[in-house]
Structure 1
Amino acid sequence: MTTYKLGTIALLTGLLAVTSCQVNDLEPQNSLSETTAFQTPERIELAVAGVYDGAQSGFYLAGAVRGYPFGAAHLQQGDMRGEDMISTQAFYAVTYQNTYDATSPNNGFFWQTTYAMINRANVVLQGLSTVQPTAQLTQAQINSYIGELRFLRALGHHYLVVHFARPFADNPTTNLGIPYRTTPVTGGSSVDQAVQQPRNTVAEVYTQILADLDFAEQNLPVTRAARITRATRGAAIALKTRVRLHQNNWEAVITEANKLVPQAAPFTSPIGGYQLTASPYGPFGAGNKSNTESIFSIENNDVDNAGVNGAPGTMYTAASLNGRAIIAISPLLWNQPFFPANDIRKSDLMVSKDPVTSPGRGAYFSKKYSDPTTRTDNAPIIRYAEVLLNLAEALARTSTGVNDRAVALLSAVRNRAVPDAANRYTAGSFASNTDLVKAILNERRIEFVAEGMRWLDIHRLAPDPVYRQAPGIPVKVSNGISNFGPLYTNDPTTTFTTQAGIPYSDYRFIWPIPIEEIVNNPTLATQQNPGY
C-alpha cells in the first residue's frame, strides 16, 4: 500500500484551501513546484498520492492532524449527529448536543479541509491536462489518475452537501447546496474568482458529483495492488449507488448496483470480486487492511494517522482496551427489538463493556477499530454490505409486493450476524414492502454503527413522512448520565434521561457556512444558511 506522510511526499506549492484566501494548506518540506510536478511518472504518482493525503490528514486547530475530513473525522461527526452512539465526554459535545455555530471548529474544519482536498485534486487535474502520453505513461494511465481525482472530488462534495445543505428530496432545484469547485486555486486571480463563486443548487451539485463518478467508472482499473485504499471502478459504482439513493432515484440505484451485484446468491461481484465476509467482523480487526468486502477505505498507518485525539481506534475503543472511551454505542439502538440479544454484533467479538469507574461509565463500545495504540486502522468509506442494502431498499421501494430479491439481499447481510432462525427474515416476515423498507433501514443502523453512516441516512430520509426515522435530528441519550451500564437491557421500554431532538424545520438541522468564508468571501456571505 502507498504510505503517505505529510511533509515527506511531493505536493504542490501555492496549494490554497478553497474555503477562503486566508486558509493555506501547509507547505511540505519536500514540495515540487507546479512547473516540475508533472515532468515524470514518478512525480505524478506522488502528486496524486498527495490528494489522498489531503483526504486523510487535513489540518485542525494550530495545524494539528485529527483525521479531517476522511481519515477519521467523517466517522465521528457522522455518528455524533445521530442517536445510535453517545458522546460520553465533552470531546464531541458541540456536535452531539447541536450547539454548533459558524465559529465551531468541528464543522468549520470539516468544510475547510474537504475543500482543501478538493483543491489539491483540481490542481493535479490541471497539471495532468498538460501531460502528453508516452510509452512510460500512457493515456489510459493518465485517465486513470484523472478518475481517482474526480472520485475524490465527488466524495468530498457529497459529504459537504449532506452536512451543509438540505436533502435532495427537499426542493433541490431551488435550495442552495455548496459551491462545486472544479477550478484550482493557486493564487492571484484564481483566488479572486474562487471567492466570487456562489453556492450551486443542490440539484446542480448532484449532477456534477455524478459526472465525476461516471468518468471515474469509465477510467479506473477494476483491481489494483492497493485494493482498498486506492479508488477502483467498483468504488466509483458503489459510491454512485449511495448518491442515487440520496436522490430517491430508485431505478438508477438498481441500474448501478446491478453492475456489482448478481441476481441471486452467492452475491459475488463480477467487477472486483467483492463479497461479504463470513463474519460481520471480517472487514475489521485483522481484516481492516485487506478483505473481500471493503470497497474503499482511507489509509491510516503507524506514522500517519489521526492521532490520539482523532483516530478511530482511540475514539471508539473502550478504556479497558486502551482506548479513550469517547464514542459509545447508545442503548437507544441496543434495546431496539430489531437488534436481537444474540446478534453477533452484540457479542464480545464486536463490543466491549467498560466498568462504571472508567471514562466509559459502563457503556458498550465497538471493537471495529482494534488498534488504539499505534492507530493504524483504515477509515472505512464504503463496503459491499452497503451496496447490497442500497439495492435492497431500491428494489423494495419500486415493487408492488414484497420483493424476494430485496429480502435475499437483506438476509445476506443480516443472517451472518443472527444465528437464531427465529430472528431471521423471510418474505413472510413482511406484510408489505413498506415493512420491508423499514427493516432494511433498521438493518443499516446496526450494520454501520461506528462507521459514520448514521447522519447520511437521517439527512436523506428527513423529508420522507413514511420512512424517516426521526422528524429531524433525533432524540439522543443524555451524555450526562453517570452510569450507562444498567440501560443496556434489550428491552425497548427502558427509560432514561434524554436530550431533546430538533425538528427538520429548525435551522440547526444543517451546519452553518464557517465564519472564515463569511468574512472573506463576499458572495457566500450573502448565502449563509438561514438562522445562523
Structure 2
Amino acid sequence: MKRTIENRLFKKGILIMGLAGLMVVSSCKKFTELSPLSQLSETTAFSNPANIELAMNGVYNRAAVGNYNGGAGRGYPFGAASIEQSEMRGEDMVNLATFYQITYETTITAAASSANNWNMFINLYSLINQCNVVIDGVTAAAGAGTITQAVADQYAGEARFLRALAHHELVINFCRPFVDGNGNKPGVPYRTVAVTGASTVAATLSQTRGTVAEDYTKILVDLDFAETNLPATRTSNKITRATKAAAIALKTRVKLHMNDFAGVITEGAKLGTSGAAAPYTSPIGGYALTASPDGPFATFNNNTESIFSIENGSAANGGVNGALANMFGPAANPLNSQVGRGLVATSPNLYNASFWVTGDTRRSLLQIQQTTNGAKYFFNYKYRDPTTSTDWAPIIRYAEVLLNVAEAYSRTTPLDVRALNLLNAVRNRAVPVADRYTIANFASQNALTQAILNERRVEFAGEGRRWADITRLSQDVNFQVAGGGIPAKILVTALAGDGSNYNTTTRPVTPAAKAAIPYSDFKYIWPIPQDELNANPNLTQNPGY
C-alpha cells in the first residue's frame, strides 16, 4: 500500500521517490558517473558520512537529469531544460522544428497541453522534495552524532541553495513577476516539508499558493542560510557544488527581480563589485572574468568565471532530446564532425542588432554557421559536445554579477561611472577598442541602463536568462518588451536558406510573423499542471486555463 501511495504522489509531482533514487558505492565520486546499484532507506542513507555524501550527490543528480513523463531524463530541471525553455519564451533564438513549438509560439491552451511545461513543474518540485529530505536527514544525523553540526549545516546550505534556485524558477514561469504589485499576485507553494510517505502527505496537500512576495522572502531566507554555512572555496567540484559565492550571486539576481537595487549593490560588494574599475576579483572564491568571452565554455569545468554550473557527464545527461549541445548545436559543423540536431538557431535580429557591434569576438567564438545547404543559419556555440553531452549547464557566472550590479548602480544614480565600469569590464574583452564606451556615449540615465540590458542579451545568449529579464522588466515602460508581454517571434519560414538574414554590414531586420502576446493575456504565465490541482484541492489554477 505504501509503494502505491508513493508512486501516485510521485506522478503528482509532490513526492520524489524519497531516497529510492540515491546512488551508492562507486569508484568515482562524481554524481554524473555514479550507478544506481541499490536503493537506500532514509535510515541507511544518513547512517554514516559516506552515505550522506552520496545522498547529497543524489540531489545534484536530480537537478541535472530529472525525468521526462516519469521516464528517462531530459535535463529537467537544470541540466538543460530551464535554459532551453527560457530561450524559447524569448525572442533571441528561433525555433526551427516542432520540439519547442508550443513554448516558442505560446500556444498552451490547457493545463496538460505542454509536456515541457508539465515536466518543468514536476521536476522542480521533485528536486525541492529531495532537498527537504536531505535537510531532515542531516539534521537527524547531527543529532545522533553521525556528523558534526557544522557539516550538517553545510549540507543543509547546499540543499537550501538548490531549494531557493528551484522555487525562483517556478515563480518566474508560473507566476506574475514580483514587480507587478510588489509581489501581491499568487505565488507557488514554498515547500519545506520532506514528503517521504503517507505520514507526511497531509502538510503538502493542504498547502496553498501564498503570494509571490512570500516566495521571495523565503527564497532569500534560504540563500542567507546558504551564504552563512557554505564554504568559500572547494578543493573539488569547485563549480558544480554550491559555495558561499554562489548563494550571494543568486541573491543579486533575486533582488534584481525585486527592483531592490540597493540590495543588489550590497550583495555584489561582497563579491568585489565595488572597486573603482576593472579588473574585478571576488574576495570570496577568487572569481574573475576570463580573458576571452569563450573561457567559461571552452573550459567549462575549470575556469575563474563560472560560479555555479550543473554538471553533466557521459554517463548522465539530458540525451539527444534535452542536452544543450544537441538542441542548440548545428546539424552540420564546419569545424569538426560533432553535430547537433539544429533545432534552435540564433535569431538574425539579435545577430544583426546595432548594439552588437561588428568585430565583437562573441560572434566569431560563440556563434557558428551551419553548412547545410538551404539552412545556413547561425547557431549558438557555447555547448560543443553533442556526441557525449558533457557540457555543463551554466547557472550563474561572475559576468552576471557584474552586470546585475551595473544595472543597479545605473538605476540608482544617473550616469553612474561605476555602472559604466562594470559594463565595460564584461564588454571590453570582446569588442574592438574603437567601440568601447565612455560616459560621453550616453545622453541620459536610461541610455546607460539600456546599454546594460543590451549587453545582457549578447553576453548571456543561449544561457536561459532572456525570459527572466523579459518578465522582470514587464512593468517598466522604459525597458519593457512588447508592452510588457511576450515578444513577437520569427518563424522558420522567414529564414533564407542561404543565410542572408544574417549580415552585420546591411543588418536586415527579419519580420516576426508570430505576433507579440500582451501582458494581460492569460498565456503570459504557464498553467499549474492539472495533476497537481487534482492532488491538492487547496491550489488555484492560473486564470484563463
The TM-score bracket by the shorter chain reads over 0.9
Instruction: Kindly indicate whether residue 537 of structure 2 is the aligned counterpart of residue 522 of structure 1.
Output: yes
Q: Aligned partners of 1:136 and 1:187: how far apart in 2? A: 24
Q: Once the 2 structures are TM-superposed, how far is the Cα of residue 24 of structure 1 from its aligned partner?
A: 5.5
* Alignment equivalent of 2:117, drawn from 81, 86, 107: 107
Q: CA deviation at 1:135?
A: 8.6
More deviation in 262-271 or 290-299?
Answer: 262-271
CA distance in 2, matches of 1:302, 1:291: 20
* TM-aligned CA deviation for residue 405 of structure 1: 1.1
SS of the equivalent of 2:492 reads coil
What CA distance in whole angstroms lies between the structure 2 residues aligned with 1:394 and 1:79?
24
Tell me the equivalent position of 1:9: none
Map of 2:284 onto structure 1: 271
Contact kept, 8 Å, 2:348 with 2:510, in 1: the verdict is no
2:427 — aligned with what? 414
Query: TM-score, normalising length from structure 1?
Result: 0.93
TM-superposed deviation, 1:486: 1.4
Equivalent position of 2:24 in the other structure: none
Are positions 1:461 and 2:473 aligned together?
yes
How has the CA–CA distance of structure 1 residues 25 and 353 changed in structure 2, closer, same or farther, with 3 Å as cutoff? farther
- Of 293, 308, 321, 1:309 maps to 321
The alignment partner of 1:352 has SS state of: strand
Residue among 194, 211, 215 paired with 2:225: 215
Cα deviation, residue 489, structure 1: 2.1
User: Pairwise CA RMSD of aligned residues?
Assistant: 1.9
Output the CA distance in 1 between the equivalents of 2:146 and 2:122. Answer: 36
**Cα gap change, 1:351 to 1:114, in 2 (>3 Å):** same
Give the aligned partner of residue 343 of structure 1. 360
Structure 2 Cα separation of the partners of residues 90 and 173 of structure 1: 35
Give yes or no for contact 2:311–2:391 (8 Å, CA) kept in 1: yes
Measured against aligned partners, the alpha-carbon deviations of 1:479-502 in whole angstroms (never above 9, x if no partner) come to 233535111123455343521110
Report SS of the residue matched to 2:141.
coil
Instruction: Supply the AA of the counterpart residue of 1:114.
Output: L
Written as runs of structure 1 = structure 2, the 5 A alignment for 1:9-48 is 17=10, 19-20=12-13, 27-28=20-21, 29-48=37-56
The unaligned stretches of length 5 or more in structure 1 are 1-12
Deviation per residue, 1:328-380 (Å, 9 max, x gap): 11012112100012111111x2211113536xx22101110011101100000
In the TM superposition, what is the alpha-carbon distance from 1:190 to its structure 2 partner?
1.8
Candidates 373, 380, 383, aligned match of 1:366: 380
CA distance in 2: counterparts of 1:439 and 1:283, whole angstroms:
23
| Partner SS for 1:381 | strand
Instruction: Indicate conservation of the 8 Å contact 2:331/2:372, yes or no.
Output: no
- The C-alpha deviation readout for 1:200-236, integer Å capped at 9, x for no partner, is 2000000000000000000000011211000000000
**Taking structure 1 as reference, are residues 424 and 166 closer, same or farther at Cα in structure 2, changes over 3 Å only?**
same
* Structure 2 Cα separation of the partners of residues 266 and 23 of structure 1: 44
SS in 1 for 2:368: strand
Q: Which residue of 2 aligns with 1:200?
A: 210
Paired residue for 1:298, among 310, 313, 337? 310
**Residues 25-104 of structure 1 aligned to structure 2 (within 5 Å):** 27-28=20-21, 29-61=37-69, 63-100=71-108, 101-103=110-112, 104=114
What amino acid sits opposite 1:368 in the alignment?
Answer: K
Give the counterpart of 1:352 among 356, 368, 376.
Answer: 368
Q: Could you list the per-position Cα deviations for residues 365-411 of structure 1 after superposition, in whole angstroms to 9, with x for gaps in the alignment? A: 11100111011000000000000000000001000x31111101000
Checking the alignment, whether the CA contact within 8 Å between 2:293 and 2:430 is kept in structure 1 is yes
> Per-residue displacement from partner, 1:106-133 (whole Å, max 9, x unpaired)?
0110000000000001011111121237
For normalisation by structure 2, the TM-score amounts to 0.91
Q: Does the 8 A contact of 1:313 with 1:369 survive in 2? A: yes
Corresponding residue for 1:250?
261
Secondary structure of 1:132's counterpart equals helix
Does the 8 A contact of 2:349 with 2:510 survive in 1? no
CA distance in 1, matches of 2:209, 2:11: 13
**Distance in 1 of aligned mates of 2:465 and 2:500:** 27
Q: 1:27 to 1:145 in 2, by over 3 A?
A: closer
Q: CA 1:300–1:23 in structure 2 vs 1: closer, same or farther (change >3 Å)?
A: closer
Match of 1:508 in 2: 523
SS across alignment from 1:450: coil
Greater Cα shift, 461-470 or 42-51:
461-470
Structure 1 Cα separation of the partners of residues 232 and 430 of structure 2 = 29
Amino acid corresponding to residue 369 of structure 2 in structure 1: K
CA contact under 8 A between 1:458 and 1:468: conserved in structure 2? Answer: yes
Q: Percent identity?
A: 52
Deviates most, 172-181 or 126-135: 126-135
SS at the partner of 2:75?
strand
CA 1:350/1:196 → structure 2, altered by over 3 Å: closer, same or farther? same
Amino acid at match of 1:480: T
Specify every segment of 5 or more residues in structure 2 that has no aligned partner in the other structure, as ranges.
Answer: 22-36, 334-338
- Equivalent of 2:189, from 179, 184, 204? 179
Bigger drift between 492-501 and 37-46 goes to 492-501
How is 1:453-492 mapped onto 2 (pairs within 5 angstroms)? 453-471=465-483, 472-481=485-494, 483=496, 485-490=499-504, 491-492=506-507
Q: 8 Å contact 2:15–2:196 — kept in the other structure?
A: no
Are 1:18 and 1:194, in contact at CA under 8 Å, matched by a contact in 2? no
TM superposition shift of 1:439:
0.4
The code of the aligned residue for 2:401 comes to V
The C-alpha deviation readout for 1:275-317, integer Å capped at 9, x for no partner, is 00001000002x1111000000000001111101110111111
Aligned partner of residue 382 in structure 1, secondary structure: strand
Mapped to 1, the partners of 2:380 and 2:215 lie a distance apart of: 34
- Deviation of 1:88 after TM superposition, in Å, equals 1.1
Pick closer, same or farther for the CA change 1:186–1:268 going to 2, 3 Å.
same
* Structure 2 match to 1:230: 241
The aligned residue for residue 407 of structure 2 is: 393
SS at match of 1:66: coil
Count how many residue pairs are aligned between Structure 1 and Structure 2: 512
